[in-house]
Amino acid sequence: MLLHTPRLLLRDFVPGDWPAVYAYQRDPRYLRLYEWTDRTPDEVQAFVQMFVDQQAEQPRTRFQLAVTLPASGEVIGNCGIRLTAAGSHEAEIGYELSPNQWGRGYATEAVAAILRFGFTELGVHRVSAWLVADNVASARVLEKNGFQLEGRLRDKERYKGRYWDVLMYARVAEE
Ligand SMILES: CC(C)(COP(=O)(O)OP(=O)(O)OC[C@H]1O[C@@H](n2cnc3c(N)ncnc32)[C@H](O)[C@@H]1OP(=O)(O)O)[C@@H](O)C(=O)NCCC(=O)NCCS
């Protein structure tokens, strides 16, 4: 599966993509808002394999794609959409990028492409996303893509010695 954006190519993962993912998931800037304090090669290989396995689902309900730079082929992150169940009108999105590529509008562009795919190809009506409230950049990515804040789950997560509020965002097809 391939999705083109003005500056990016989103494609299905292959197992050999894991070193590129490992390189950025170990970055402290990336790890700051996650439960993880570090990542191991085994963990990242399993992480990538999970996305490879999605490609064999019948019918396929999960599409977590590698975000790449077309000129070099470099894997700089992932972005995807998953239906809540086969044939559902509802889906959830998730995305992440290498910190070396932040602040260039790439996440906004990748999310726009995955949303188009969801609304037109998958025929979904409602797409939701959640994030920790400290993740201001991620909230902006959603707002720039027409998502609305639907709720705040206070102290929903606990890791790294503190509680984290979680924000729920969603966009429906007409918006
Ligand atoms: C969230 C993430 C994907 C954003 O990627 P990105 O390519 O930098 O995003 P964009 O450049 O498209 O947009 C980021 C927006 O956030 C803004 N932003 C970034 N950091 C900010 C901060 N600390 N305070 C306020 N705004 C901030 C940017 O200015 C930009 O908004 P603008 O276009 O209005 O100026 C990236 O930071 C990331 O991968 N983080 C780690 C993984 C993660 O959090 N994934 C999402 C889980 S829900």
- Our mutation pick for probing the ligand 1 site, out of 79, 97, 128, counting the most ligand atoms within 8 A of Cβ, is 97
Query: Could you read off the pLDDT of 50-77 as tens digits, one per residue?
Result: 999 999 999 999 999 999 999 999 999 9
Query: What are 89's two structure tokens?
Result: 């009108």
Q: Can you tell me the distance from the alpha carbon of 22 to that of 37, in angstroms, rounded to the nearest whole number?
A: 13
CA 97 – ligand 1 centroid, Å: 9
CA 105 – ligand 1 centroid, Å: 8
b (16+ CB within 10 A) / e for 53-84: ebeeeeeebbbbbbbbeeeeeebbbbbbbbbe
Residue 47 Cβ < 6 Å to ligand 1? no
User: Residue 2: pLDDT above 90?
Assistant: yes
136 burial (CB, 10 Å; 0-12 / 13-18 / 19+) is exposed
Mean pLDDT, residues 126-131 taken together: 98
Residue 96 Cβ < 6 Å to ligand 1? yes
Domains defined for the chain, CATH in brackets: 2-125 (3.40.630.30)
Residue 167, SS3 per DSSP: strand
Query: Could you read off the pLDDT of 74-113 as tens digits, one per residue?
Result: 999 999 999 999 999 999 999 999 999 999 999 999 999 9
Mean pLDDT, residues 133-150 taken together: 98
Residue 55 Cβ < 6 Å to ligand 1? no
The pLDDT value recorded for residue 175 is 79
Q: Can you tell me the distance from the alpha carbon of 5 to that of 66, in angstroms, rounded to the nearest whole number?
A: 13
User: Residue 7: pLDDT above 90?
Assistant: yes
Residue 28 Cβ < 6 Å to ligand 1? no
User: Residue 174: pLDDT above 90?
Assistant: no
Q: Is the bond preceding residue 6 a cis peptide, omega within 30 degrees?
A: no
Query: Could you read off the pLDDT of 36-51 as tens digits, one per residue?
Result: 999 999 999 999 999 9
- Our mutation pick for probing the ligand 1 site, out of 102, 109, 145, counting the most ligand atoms within 8 A of Cβ, is 102
